[in-house]
Amino acid sequence: MCFIDNHALVHKLFTRLFLTARQFYNATVIGSYYCLRLEFIRRKWPRIWDSTLATNMQPRKLDSCITWLQKAVAVTPEGYWFYRWRLFVLAHFLRSRSSMNQNQEELKEAIALFRTVVESLQETDRLPGPGECRYQLSKALLLYYEHWGDIESLHFGTMYARQAVDSVSEHNPSYPTFLQQLASSLKARARLTGHRYDLLDSVSLMRHAVKLAPRRADVLFTCATTLKAASMWLDDRQYIEEILDVLYKGMEIDSGRYRERFHSEWLTVLGHTYAFRGEGDDLDHAASLLTQAEAMSTQEPCVSRAWILLHRAEVEAQRGRGGLSDALDLVGDAMELLAPNHRLRIEGVADTMVNILTGPGDSKLPLWLLQRSIDILAWAAQSPSISPHARFRAAVCWARYCEEGLRTDAAEAFSIALELLPRLTSVGLDIDSRHQMLASEALGLASDAAASIMAFIPETGLEKSVEMLEVGRAVFWAQALQLRTSFDALATQEPDLADELAQVSKELEARSFRILPTNVQGRFSAETLAANAHNHHLSQRWEELLSRCRSVPGFEDFLQPKRFSDLCASANGGAVIIVNASRSYCDALIIRSSPPSVECVPLPIKYAEVAEMAEAWRSLLEHYGRSCRSTRSAQERQESQRGGRVRLPPEYKSSKDVLAALWSRIVQPILETLNPPTTEPLMRLWWCATGPFASLPLHAAGKFEGQAQECLMDVAISSYTPTLTALLTEPRSPDGELQLLAVAQEETPDMSPLPNTKQELHYIRDLATSVMTVNSLTNKAADVTSVSAGIRKCNWLHLACHGLQPGSKPLNSAFLLHDGRLTLSNIMQIPTPHAQFAFLSACETALGDADVPDEGIHLAGAMLFAGFPSVIATSWSIEDEDGPIVARDVYEHLLKGGKPDASEAALALHNAVCKLRAQGASVLRWAPFIHLGR
């Protein structure tokens, strides 16, 4: 007997039972009728159960089912096992109806019922089983996120999906279905967080599901959509042939009573895939497929039809020929199908608009189309009901097109984008996810925002630009520092609120430095997913508590971005220079504190030229082998690199060429404005570099050839700072006698020896023993545990060892000790209540990540965050023989007269480096030493 005949026979039998029951108006019997009928269909045809039973019912029948099920639940004692079963079935129908009518409250009710069932489950339950219950709860939570944008629902939905997978073996018929749900949840989470691991893991899960159930059309369909998401989001076309193969296999298998409904879904994905490939007549073929899908979808829920229209809009925009106008019409039609506060109506439309405007096709829009596009993007960017990521993308696209149209609301758009940036990198995420989000979304955003504001709001633009640059840079450190805020002042007015803030911040800080497991199983284990859900809950609670705190009189600006009037104090004792590299132009903002002011100096250089100079400098360092502290001479280093010589631009054949260009095109125009004195005392400067400027040695700029040699070091004492806020830290007074922790790692397993670190430690002991307590750790005694414990107690810290700064993984930066690595994340978790000064005599301790240059993610930055307000570090590798010489001269200055003074660190380093330079050392030997902070 065919599928339809079977279904018809079952329908007749159950209908007769139903009519008999209704004669007696017995809610229990009628409830049992529906439950038994559903269980029969669920076991016989799981695809029909999951996707079509309730969805394809006529609304009147669905309403009738829900009404009688509610009556059945009402008369069923809670202690009976079938009470849970009836709740479960009722929740399933409510979820289906909410999907059809876009009823948010009804979906909430369904989720609450599913939760009740899951929380009251017994291990012996078979109807419904524990795995099935968690699976259906996960589906409801994912649906709530997809429709209404609740991020917490996504995290908990992923957790329950994982629990469902763990509850059954691979041989269970439900296992592929549970894998589908977990893959769908991970895919949605990848879209939210930008974490590629989630996306790749979802692909791996679906490929495994297809192996287990190669003839299940629903599994093939989910596999195809997952592969398509990976291909599009990772911009990787290697998946396309696999996607098309899976789609055509699935369409061949998919048949039966509901083929027409599912066929429109297949055509939609197929059309979108061809559009993404974009070869030959793919766009025309995609348009034809999507038109067919739309024609077949008239009986489908509004959400499905809206998705088809949005896909068609993207294809029409890609096809050109005036397609932008048609695309916007289709976007408008999609919006009319959806409820006003539906997530797809805002977020889906916003994503579609971003894809249309940033994709291939006409880049210049007619004025009326530009206005219409900007209106949609502005509306989405300001809608609080969608995910921060979607709002952020809309705000950035809005800002870019406002710049093109020379509109003053570019400043508003950039402001919204920067306000959302901390939410994209929420402390509820793991470290890798936050770093990846900053690298993919925030690169250059603050610099472009500052340049735009200066251009469009000239009267207050300079001060606002400084505030923007502070908000949009070093986000990673700013969030971490917030969690270490004191709540003592708040406790005097709201002690309970202060206590809860302190408790949540402490737990968040402990969790925010975690790194995901590297293996696939570990990344989506039940424990990891449960931790992710809890972390997000904590992050949301943190935001809610801060909002409450800001309603307390006197705390309206608590942990809000600082205003210029506060930031200008960072220039006390000199001037802070923000060197800004935007896509429009490059300039320097000179900030002074007395009187508070900011002045703009246009620089005669473009962004592309700065990027080329930074790349040339990195290539030169690579060419000369400047990757680790070594006993080899510069010539030996160069010889070792000759097998892999690098290509350099013709104007940058040596380090002196780069430094001369830095002098003439960047530093000299700034000095002409500053007009510093040429006699003692030298002017104090703090450099705050953005974008590719952060990779350049601004402190060493100068002309070092010919008769008229000039150098910045001759007229100014330079320091660096990742942000202005880092310079506002109050100096700490020691409690009792000063303590110095000196670590010297002469022999490190699997690394070249550093014999001069022994001499370095000897100098420090001789100079410091009479004025402070010196705790020295060498070789085997310098293990990770001992050094970490010493850092907690010390005021001054000296590390002479190998340093590691992986270019693509800055969060794995570490000091190499005898038994392992003291990593950046380890340092961030060490409390340092007494810290005053750190000297990092290791290699590349201030070398940042070229992918996120504005974040200052390096070992020196970690020391600043940990609480050391003054840090000496290195921008590239140093000669082993230079470490002791520079250290000796620095400590002689800091300890002169028997009175330790860490505030003189910048001057002490300046004098030591000038001395090394005067002895004829090459620029690559004296220039790596830099000072950060006060």
One-character DSSP codes across 321-362: TTHHHHHHHHHHHHHHHS-TT-HIIIIIHHHHHHHHHHSSS-
**What is the C-alpha to C-alpha distance for residues 576 and 342, in angstroms, rounded to an integer?**
47
pLDDT band at 605 (very low <50, low <70, confident <90, very high): very high
Amino acid identity of 370? Answer: L
Closest CA to 298 of 309, 289, 287: 309
595: preceding bond cis by omega (within 30 degrees)? yes
Integer CA distances (angstroms), 898 to 771, 839, 893, 894, in order: 6, 19, 10, 9
Both tokens of 74, joined, read 């009402």
Q: Which residues of 743-781 are buried (b: 16+ CB within 10 A; e: fewer)?
A: bbbbebeeeeebebbebbbebbeebbeebbebebbbbee
% residues pLDDT > 70 (the chain): 82
Q: Which two tokens stand for residue 494?
A: 């709201």
CB 840 within 8 A of CB 791: no
Helices 882-894 and 905-918: crossing angle in degrees, nearest 10, is: 140
Can you give the pLDDT at residue 21?
A: 46
Q: Considering the chain, what is the average pLDDT of its residues?
A: 81
pLDDT digits (tens, 9 = 90+) for 426-461: 776 777 777 777 777 778 888 988 888 887 776 677
What is the residue-wise DSSP string for 444-481?
THHHHHHHHHHHH-TTTHHHHHHHHHHHHSSHHHHHHH
CB-side neighbour CA atoms (13 Å) of 278? 14
Q: Which of 120-129, 492-501, 717-726 is the least confident region? A: 120-129
Q: What is the dihedral of CA 334, 338, 341, 343, to 10 degrees?
A: -60
Among the residues of 255-348, which ranges form H helices? 259-277, 282-296, 302-319, 323-337, 343
What predicted TM-score, i.e. pTM, was given to this entire model? 0.78
Which of 43-57, 585-599, 710-724, 786-800 shows the lowest mean pLDDT across its residues? Answer: 43-57
The predicted model gives 106-121 an average pLDDT of 89
Q: What is the DSSP-derived secondary structure letter of residue 667?
A: I
Output 41 or 236, whichever has higher pLDDT: 236
H or E segment and range at residue 742: strand 739-744
Three-class SS of residue 734?
coil
Window from 517-521, 719-723, 827-831 with minimum mean pLDDT: 517-521
Phi, psi of 787 (to 5 degrees): -65, -40
At residue 7 the predicted structure's pLDDT band, cuts being 50, 70 and 90, is very low
Cis status, amide bond into 517, omega within 30 of 0: no
Whether the pLDDT of residue 589 is over 70: the answer is: yes
The answer to which of 319-333, 609-623, 715-729, 873-887 has the lowest mean pLDDT is 319-333
253 forms bridges with which residues in the sheet?
A: none
Lowest average pLDDT, out of 350-364, 398-412, 917-931, goes to 350-364
ω into 734 cis (within 30 of 0): no
- What is the layout of strands, in order, in the sheet containing 802-804? 802-804, 814-816, 821-823
The tokens describing 93, both together, are 């129908």
List all residues 6 or more positions away from 282 whose beta carbon is below 8 Å from its beta carbon. 274, 275
pLDDT at 309 over 70: yes
Q: Which two tokens stand for residue 310?
A: 């949005």
pLDDT of 357 reads 73
Cα-based distances in Å from 468 to 214, 372, 374, 493, 575: 53, 27, 22, 32, 19
Asked whether residue 601 carries a pLDDT value surpassing 90, the answer given is yes
Q: What is the pLDDT of residue 322?
A: 58
Tokens representing 520? Answer: 């696939």
* Segment among 387-401, 713-727, 792-806 with least mean pLDDT: 387-401
pLDDT at 41 over 70: no
Euclidean distance between CA atoms 31 and 43, whole angstroms: 18
Question: 822 in helix, strand or coil?
Answer: strand
Comparing C-alpha atoms, which of 805, 143, 154, 14 is closest to residue 532? 154
Q: Which residues contact 606 (CB under 8 A, 6 or more apart)?
A: 585, 586
pLDDT for 659: 93
- CA 269 vs CA 186, 220, 288, 449, 850: distances in Å: 19, 12, 13, 37, 37
Positive or negative, the Cα torsion across 213, 219, 225, 230? negative
* Nearest Cα to Cα of residue 134 among 162, 109, 153: 162
Q: Give the whole-angstrom CA distance, residue 822 versus residue 836.
A: 20
Has residue 634 got a pLDDT over 60? no
State the distance between the two ends of the chain, measured CA to CA, in whole angstroms: 84
Average pLDDT for 315-323 = 69
pLDDT at position 134 over 60: yes
Question: Which residues contact residue 555 at a Cβ distance below 8 angstroms, ignoring those fewer than 6 apart?
Answer: 489, 490, 493, 549
In this predicted structure, what is the pLDDT of residue 5? 39
Phi, psi of 353, rounded to the nearest 5 degrees: -65, -40
Residue 258 has pLDDT above 50, yes or no: no
The DSSP bridge pattern shows strands 802-804 and 814-816 to be: antiparallel
Per-residue pLDDT, 412: 85
Least confident residue range of 147-156, 520-529, 824-833, 909-918? 520-529
Task: Give helix 410-424 / helix 431-441 axis angle, nearest 10°.
Answer: 160
Q: What is the mean pLDDT of residues 45-53?
A: 44
Give the 3-state secondary structure of residue 872.
strand
Per the listing, tokens 């006699």 go with: 679
Report how far residue 210's alpha carbon sits from residue 101's, in angstroms, rounded to the nearest whole number. 32
pLDDT tens-digit map of 271-295:
878 877 877 788 888 888 888 877 7
Provide the 3-class DSSP secondary structure of residue 743.
strand
pLDDT tens, position by position, 801-848: 988 877 667 777 899 998 889 988 888 888 888 899 999 998 888 877
pLDDT at residue 663 tops 80: yes
> When comparing pLDDT for 249 and 278, which is higher?
249
Write down the H helix ranges in 473-569: 475-482, 488-491, 495-512, 520-523, 526-549, 564-567
Bigger pLDDT: 802 vs 74:
802
The pLDDT of residue 525 is above 80:
no
In this prediction, residue 262 has a pLDDT band, given cuts at 50, 70 and 90, of low
